[in-house]
Amino acid sequence: MGKPVEVNDSNFEEIVLQSKIPVLVDFWATWCAPCRMVAPVVEELAEEYDARVSFAKLDVDQSPKTASQYGIMSIPSLIIFKNGSPVSNLVGFRPKADLKRSLDEVLE
């Protein structure tokens, strides 16, 4: 893929939960300044982890059902899913090294 895909309430299960490889989902909103700070980091990681991890973005204002289902209370929230289940949850802006460490743990 090499680039995060937009997901929403209607396609979340198909794109994220049924994925054969781990998926990092960036829960965000247009009005969220820290979300805008994490977006370029997620895009860089999408290129670096191409074919090993998928990356998705879910706008919590447009898809409140899915955000609520995963208990998203603060954004940005980054959840890594593996085999349809959340395995890592990072809340707030995190340095790229923290995100890489979480991704590498999931890939081990």
For residue 50, give both structure tokens: 């191409």
Query: 40 Cβ partners below 8 Å, 6+ apart?
Result: none
The answer, as to whether pTM is greater than 0.85, is yes
CA distance 28 to 60: 6
List, by residue number, the catalytic residues: 32, 35
Q: What is the pLDDT of residues 25-39, one digit of tens each?
A: 999 999 999 999 999
pLDDT band (50, 70, 90) for residue 2: confident
DSSP code per residue over 23-79: EEEEEE-TT-HHHHHHHHHHHHHHHHTTTTSEEEEEETTT-HHHHHHTT--SSSEEE
Mean pLDDT of 51-65: 97
Mean pLDDT of 65-74: 96
